[in-house]
Structure 1
Amino acid sequence: MTTLVLLSDLVFQSNEKLDQRIRSLFDRDQPSIGYVPSCSDPNRKYFEHTRLYYNQLGIDTIQYYDLDMEYEESKFGSIFECDAIHLSGGNTFYFLSILQKRNVLDLLRSYVKSGGILIGVSAGSILTTPTIDIAGYGEDADENEVGLNDMKALGLVEFEFAPHWDGLEDTLNSLREYTLVNSKAVYACQDGGGIVIDGESVELYGNVHLVDYKESGPFDE
């Protein structure tokens, strides 16, 4: 059974229902989470922010696993023993490039198919979808500074994900054009919101709007 959490950002005290739902996904009192940064975080600035977020959910075991400058293949393998894997935000193109470089994509797919929980934030959420093309779309697009050509991501869901939605109709209209060209539905998500995939169910929390090339409509909670 596929269990995924797609977040726009980690915002403290933003959505109690979403926080409680994330905590409920774990069947142990003290689960472990393996944190994968989009690029090396030598001062652990972003890792610390994430650790504090999970701490407030009552989860204390958060382990840092680097695929970039501090990568150690012999140690990285233990991440798949964690109850959940957290993919951080950052530059989506760079993140996908290091996942490709370390041959981790198939391992992550197998982890999810075997019952592991995958939690993404921003870029990490985009990586759960079929392609990261949307990361290069719009005014606030990520720069493809690594010259990435293969945009195929994990493909764990059929839709695409647009984080940091500003709540404006103009942005949704732009995404409608994107969906018409790419024939893929897109969920636009404001910070503080998210999507929980639990088996066949798709649960929306916060201000999340479905933009479909066939039809569209708002889903707010």
Structure 2
Amino acid sequence: MITALYSDQLIAENAPMDRRLAALILARGNRIGYIASAPEPQREFFDEKRQYYLQYGLSLDLFVDLDALSGDDEIGRLFSCNAIHLTGGHTGDFLRRLRQSGMLERLRAWALDDGILVGTSAGAILMTPTIAADALFSGGSPDAVRDGAALDLVPFEFFPHVNDDPGYLPSLLRYSETTANRILACRDGEGLILGNGLVEVFGAPLMISDGFVEAADRGRIVDLLSCA
């Protein structure tokens, strides 16, 4: 399994991570499936992402709307892709759609069976044990989240866009005192590629636990993964 967790993607700062991810996917093929976080009648985000991947020689050629799955044939086409992209959007709604469509466990099984799963923002949060930290984006408390269990593919919580609001970091520090999970927080332009022996850190993410923050360098992440 390889997971790629982005804070944001469509910005120039992500080019080093993009190139590395593209090389990993192209070693298997060039097809990427796209799971939308919500309906996209005009497919504007899909088309934007398709052009983005095209510059790296990758083909985003399958659009999946969880509210309108056509059956096992469509799911089979999705899981035959060389990678799957989980979009940004409303994390809670995305999780609900994955559950209601029966895709949460199927996607987890596909990823664990040596899949390459790419997530931006909400899509990256969904790779973690819980989406609780996402509550901060709507002014809520992570501690109040009771039904946030997600894909549980990495042994930490993920918080994107930490640079967007000066209040996010203090709130994450407080939350870290009540959760057993470490929290990795990324600014836009930062991210991680993990799995199959890879621990690749792009930018300078933060690792938050027990009310303290430190640099999430490669050594700390290796230690975290080895304890999982």
Q: Partners of 2:46 and 2:197 in 1: how far apart?
A: 31
Equivalent residues in 2 for 1:109-128 (5 A)? Answer: 109-128=108-127
My pick for the range that moved more, 162-171 or 202-211, is: 162-171
Corresponding residue of 1:162: 159
3-state SS in 2 of match to 1:181: coil
Which consecutive residues of structure 1, in runs of 5 or more, have no partner in the other structure? none
Q: Partners of 1:220 and 1:46 in 2: how far apart?
A: 32
Alignment-mate amino acid for residue 83 of structure 2: A
Question: Is the CA contact 1:6–1:119 (under 8 Å) kept in the aligned structure 2?
Answer: yes
Q: Partners of 2:217 and 2:166 in 1: how far apart?
A: 15
Corresponding residue of 1:65: 64
Q: How many residues align?
A: 213
Q: Partners of 1:189 and 1:115 in 2: how far apart?
A: 25
Structure number with higher helix proportion: 2
3-state SS in 2 of match to 1:14: helix
Alignment-mate amino acid for residue 114 of structure 2: G
Corresponding residue of 1:218: 215
TM-superposed deviation, 1:84 = 0.5
Which consecutive residues of structure 2, in runs of 5 or more, have no partner in the other structure? 219-228
Report the TM-score when normalising by structure 1.
0.87
Equivalent residues in 2 for 1:1-221 (5 A)? Answer: 2-28=1-27, 30-68=29-67, 70-74=68-72, 75-136=74-135, 138=136, 140-141=137-138, 150-166=147-163, 170-213=167-210, 215-219=212-216
Between the aligned residues of both structures, percent identity stands at 35
CA RMSD of aligned residues (A): 2.3
Alignment-mate amino acid for residue 80 of structure 1: F
Report the TM-score when normalising by structure 2.
0.85
Flag the 1:173–1:214 CA change in 2: closer, same or farther, 3 A. closer
Alignment-mate amino acid for residue 118 of structure 1: L
Q: Partners of 1:46 and 1:108 in 2: how far apart?
A: 21
